[in-house]
Structure 1
Amino acid sequence: METQLLDTIIVISGLSLLIVFLFNKLKIPTIVGFLLTGVMVGPHGLGLVKAIKEVHVLAEIGVILLVFATGIEFSFQKLLKMKKLSIIGGFCQVILTTIFVFLIAKLGGKSTGTAIFLGLAISHTSTAIMLKILQARGESDSPHGHASLAVSLFQDIASVAMMLFVPLLAGEIAASEFLKTLSILSAVWLVPWLFYQVLRTRSYELFMISIVGVCFAVAWLTSMAGLSLALGAFLAGLIVSESKYSKQILSNVLPFRDVFTSFFFVSVGMLVDIRFILEQPFLILAVALVVLFLKAMIASVVILSLGLTLRAAVLGGILLCQVGEFSFILAQTGLPYNLLTPKDYQWLLALVVVTMTIAPFLMQLAPYLISAILKLPVPKRWKGIGDVLQEKKENPLHDHVIIIGFGVNGRNLAQVCKSAGISYVIIELNAKTVKEESLKGEPILYGDATQAVVLEHAAIQNARVAVVAISDPEATLRITEVLREIHSQIHIITRIRYMQEINRLYSLGANEVIPEELEASVEIFTRVLKKYLVPKEEIEKFISEIRLQNYQMMRPLSTQPAFFSHVQLNMANFEINAMRLQSDSPFIGKSLAEIDMRKKYGITVLAIRRKLETISNPEPSILLEANDVLICMGSPSHIAAIAVHFGK
């Protein structure tokens, strides 16, 4: 008996390790792995676990820590910052989903309380799964990423209202209980003072005890008030989140949360009756698909109505279509009030497991679905072609740069182009940014650059360079493909986050791909070398060699002709650079014949840009002047070597 709990923990840990490892390889959420572990070891499965009550105690701790961490991570400031997407979008998504599920449940003969409860439970989405999908695809900063996370943020605060609402649905709580709960929030002034006193002792152990103490004390107080432990844990998290110690507290809580939450999902899986699923697998799958479709449609319509494009709306809808783990917590809150029958509970468990399993794979189908929808006669605004997009006929664009995306990279590029006198046009999908920047005089257009008509409005046929500076990898691939289809000679430069995505961009027609992780590594070692007083010219040689090695290694051999604006080159070891002669350069006042760059430095001067004049194929007798820009061709090492003679 003494070792029964230990035996149980070993069985659960060993089996979950194998299943979660396998699911990770199959790209199925780990939550589903823990649920399946519970099904297998539980009384309805193989019956390997005997200490069922003890597992449920560990699961209760997991629930408290899970909701406590959610409360700490919640930010009212962030909610207000994304008020349109979060408050309006999140509210509409929760309400509309609840209404639709309520109507379907009522048609199925459920009571009003049960129908509303099911609607509230199904309206919630798994933030953990959604975040994992976005991070794996590098789309956390994309329009659909922002939209889905904003809606999820509202769901977090709505979860408090849901837990408060559950007893009301059963008619077993008085309004006075709400006052008790609200009085707990008065601890928002007491808790920071308590943590300050604890931190003054500089005792890590005391700090951890105080965190756990606050979490469980507030949960116990709400339980005494007739409400759920989970609600109390969330309120405790909210109280802590308002203190300046919240980030440190969260980092200390997360390891415990992850361990105990796994027991929670295992305990939920132990409640699943496998016979219930085996008796009607096709019916459960059909209902799950209906839920996925219904939630995706509602979320897509809500996001679309808030001004985002159809592409962002569809992707956001798919991210928000699964039923989240909070449904388990809400279901356990509602069971004591008889809002769910055992059969209803089994249905809810089955729907959560199936939708969580299917959801990650739906994102793989999204590009095909979006392409099919965009072929339909939908409004132009849905395609990202708004009324703001108007080409200025009086100032036709020619030999310009198209900047796609006006984030940090796009803004810096626009600023440099303006200073250098290079004409440019910006394409941006954020209507607010377009409005603000157009008032400042920026040549900015509203539109989705994956649409050919948007690029045509930006005079793509007359452009020399297109720079794709957005953070959405899938959109970057599609834009690169469309750019190359429209203009076979345009020079395409794209940014990408990770190096493994480079080959695909080259195959779609990109001329240059800038991986953020490589350029960040170059900047890091440059600063390290500077601290060790390595000469500038040696650092530049290192930079040239590192870039040459990496970019040559990453770029695949192609049987297709390369795309260049003016010069056709098949020499991978050579590059063309523009270098300005500074006032202290020893070359000033000398002719090209005197300097003899080709013989002494291995450099060929192709042209000289002097003020507004460009001198092609300059004569050897021409004298160089200060501020002349020499267009030079040579190997990276030779260019780095001669650069020191152009002055500081």
Structure 2
Amino acid sequence: MHSNLIIEIGIAVLLVALVGLLANRLKFSVIPFFIVIGMVLGNESYPDFVGDLLVKIGNEGVTNSVNSVWSFLTFTESKPFIDFMGRLGVLFLLFYLGLEFSVGRLIKSGKSIVAGGSIYVVLNFMSGLLVGWMMNLPFKEMMVLCGIMTSSSTAIVAKVLTDLKRTANRETEVIMGMIMFDDLFIAMHISFLSGLILTGSSSFWTVAGTSLLALGFILSFLILGRKLVPFIDRLLQEKSSELFILIIFSLLFTIAGFSETIHVAEAIGALMAGLVFADSRYIKKIEGMVLPFKDFFGAMFFFSFGLSIDMYSLGGAVGWATFAAAITVVCNVASGYFASRFSGLKPKNSVDIGFTLSARGEFSIIMANIGKAGKLLPVIQSFVVVYVLILSIVSPLLTKESRNIWNKLAGQDDVSRKPKKKLSDLEASVQEN
């Protein structure tokens, strides 16, 4: 029954690695590549042009060979296992984010980042309400859409800033502060969606009770969980690598699993676990051990998401997703303008901030999956695929060209360009002295 399981998984990982190499060669985000390769191969029937070609050839042996090869590429037997690896990818992505996240850093960042982050959240959330209203979506679908359009991609933003060598720029601190603020809001929104969607109840009090339970769960980890860090450090002290990682992973999966039992998304449990371990004195060792798992299972998460999508059903969502992507860029540039003013940066930094924050990825997909688990309208899945693909491609390109775009819109910054001194000018100044 499972004779093809291992080879299918091997082929899946190989394909993900190959498209990852292609993305790196093109110096581009790997996320859209992982999603697209999953969509192309996730259909049980191969593309129409392949079928037409086989009909023209008219050779039964060739047709049987193509069918045999395609059966491997549709991952019929391994799909459930790949889906499970995708779930692990969500846990490791959120756990690692929790390790990098710090409420203390957010507070120290100052009112400027809190104010800029608040404007960012409000503008993007309101744009989600606008698009949801124009699409005539029910309330639950609209709330998922608002979350999808509000959540920036930490993974893409970090990669773009690193690739463009902008990590030391002044606006980068503002960008990362706004990302932290947005992640905090998204954690709260996911807890709200858990109460609204995952409980399967339409009662206001049931939804409110579950949402409050999720909020209490988060606050408990922020307040009480950190007090357990000294105990955890003693537990991890002088342990072998094998025992060290077993302890970390057992706590991660237990916390995530417990959160799921109380109708709080398991991703939130993983995030809370990361927040607790962020204060451990072994944080560097934990990050080093978790990073390879985050990268591997994170890649499989995007690939498994692509496998779950029928690319032939995306046509109806292209127009709305393109419209939403354009609104997202405009709202993010506007929030970047206010963040620049609050932080004392130059107006030209508003496009740097806005274009960078426009990237959408892992969190949008996580919230779309919550909608799928709650059996909401399929249009949400189609929408998020096109929306994420557009912004995960366009945002890095806009960020790369942000300085040129600003110069064309507002004119060249003469202050930054000092006139070059000629040798004759230097000689004249020496003679005068």
TM-score tier by shorter-chain length is: 0.7 to 0.9
Q: CA RMSD in A?
A: 2.7
Deviation at 1:165, TM superposition (A): 1.2
Q: Which has the higher helix share?
A: 2
Distance 1:247 1:100, change over 3 A: same
Report the secondary structure of 1:483's partner residue.
Answer: coil
Residues 259 and 564 of structure 1, relative CA distance in 2, 3 Å threshold: farther
Matches of 1:90 and 1:45 in 2, distance apart?
A: 45
Bigger drift between 252-261 and 100-109 goes to 100-109
8 Å contact from structure 1 (residues 86, 153) kept in 2: no
Q: Equivalences for 1:67-466 in 2 at 5 Å?
A: 67-170=94-197, 171=204, 172-173=206-207, 174=209, 175-176=212-213, 178-180=215-217, 182-184=219-221, 186-200=224-238, 202-277=239-314, 279=315, 283=319, 286-287=322-323, 289-306=325-342, 307-338=344-375, 340-375=376-411, 451-452=413-414, 455=415
Q: Give the conservation status (yes or no) of the 8 Å contact 1:300–1:317.
A: yes
**Which structure's residues are more often strand, by fraction?**
1
Which amino acid in 1 is paired with 2:18? L
Partner amino acid, structure 2, of 1:353: L
2: CA distance, partners of 1:179 / 1:248: 30
Whole-angstrom distance in 1 between the partners of 2:88 and 2:318: 35
**Mapped contact 1:32–1:357 kept (Cα < 8 A):** yes
AA paired with 2:22?
A: L
Q: Which residue number corresponds to residue 31 of structure 2?
A: 31
- The answer on whether the counterparts of 1:35 and 1:268 sit within 8 Å (CA) in structure 2 is yes
How far apart in 1 are the matches of 2:281 and 2:90? 25
Q: What aligned pairs does 1:504-523 form with structure 2 within 5 A after superposition?
A: none
Corresponding letter in the other structure for 1:49: F
Structure 1 position 14 matched with structure 2 position 14: yes
Q: CA deviation at 1:138?
A: 1.5
CA deviation profile, 1:270-328 (whole Å, cap 9, x unmatched): 12221123x35863674254244333333333324424221101111111112232111
TM-score for the superposition, normalised by structure 2:
0.83
Contact 1:184 1:218 in 2 (8 A): no
Superposed CA deviations along residues 83-119 of structure 1, whole A, max 9, x for unmatched, are: 2343221122012210122023113211233223211
Conserved 8 A contact 2:329-2:354 = no
Alignment gaps of 5+ in structure 1: 376-449, 456-478, 490-561, 569-605, 608-613, 617-648
Write out the 4+ residue segments of structure 1 that deviate beyond 6 Å after TM superposition: none
Write the distance in 2 (CA, Å) between the matches of 1:163 and 1:295. 22
- CA shift for structure 1 position 230: 0.5
Gaps of 5+ in 2: 47-72, 198-203
CA contact (8 A) 1:94 1:120 kept: no
The percentage of aligned residue pairs carrying the same residue is: 23
Aligned to 1:565: 426
Distance 1:292 1:182 in 2: 30
Where in structure 2 are the equivalents of 1:516-595 lying within 5 Å? 565-566=426-427
What residue is the counterpart of 1:595 in the other structure?
none
Q: TM-score, normalised by structure 1?
A: 0.57
Residues 74, 238 of structure 1: 8 Å contact kept: yes
Pair 180,188 (structure 1): closer, same or farther in 2 beyond 3 Å: same
Query: RCO greater where, 1 or 2, for CA within 8 Å and sep 6 or more?
Result: 2
- How far apart are residue 483 of structure 1 and its match? 0.6
Opposite residue 332 of structure 1, the aligned amino acid is N
User: How far apart are the structure 2 equivalents of 1:176 and 1:151?
Assistant: 27
CA distance in structure 1 between the aligned counterparts of 2:413 and 2:286, rounded to whole angstroms: 46
Aligned residues: 394
